[in-house]
């Protein structure tokens, strides 16, 4: 991560980034995302890779798959994790709009009025 003040590389200190050059300090929000792979599904278009805020649940006669165990990803400034009306976890942008969690080039991407690629925390 680069310092937004002087451009130097910031160092990670337990999820908070500090600039050794100018002393700028940034607290970043991260969340665990699970890269899922649906290997069997009732419909062909339901198969494939994706990302989820929750681990892959149990297999059934019609659905099979797995996840990668989860990895920490840094959310863009102003984005947050919350819940929907049905108590499912969700990500919201800086205008509190719901973001669709999708995949692009094997990496997570958030889609709302704008799009944002996510980076691994470590």
pLDDT in tens, 22-65: 776 656 677 899 999 999 999 999 999 999 999 998 899 999 99
In whole numbers, what is the pLDDT of the chain averaged over residues?
Answer: 84
Q: What is the CA radius of gyration of the chain?
A: 17
What number is the average pLDDT over the span 90-96? 91
Q: Please, which residues have CB within 8 angstroms of residue 71's CB and are 6 or more apart in sequence?
A: 32, 33, 35, 120, 121
pLDDT band per the 50, 70, 90 thresholds, residue 115: confident
């Amino acid at each position: 991560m680069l310092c937004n003040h002087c451009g130097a590389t910031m160092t990670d200190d337990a999820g908070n980034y500090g600039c050794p050059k100018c002393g700028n300090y940034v607290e970043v929000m991260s969340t665990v995302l699970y890269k899922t792979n649906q290997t069997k599904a009732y419909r062909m278009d339901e198969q494939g890779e994706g990302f989820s805020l929750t681990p892959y649940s149990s297999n059934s006669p019609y659905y099979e798959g797995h996840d990668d165990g989860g990895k920490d990803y840094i959310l863009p400034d102003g984005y947050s994790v919350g819940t929907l009306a049905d108590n499912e976890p969700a990500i919201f942008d800086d205008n509190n709009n719901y973001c669709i969690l999708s995949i692009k080039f094997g990496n997570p991407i958030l889609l709302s009025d704008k799009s944002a690629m996510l980076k691994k925390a470590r």
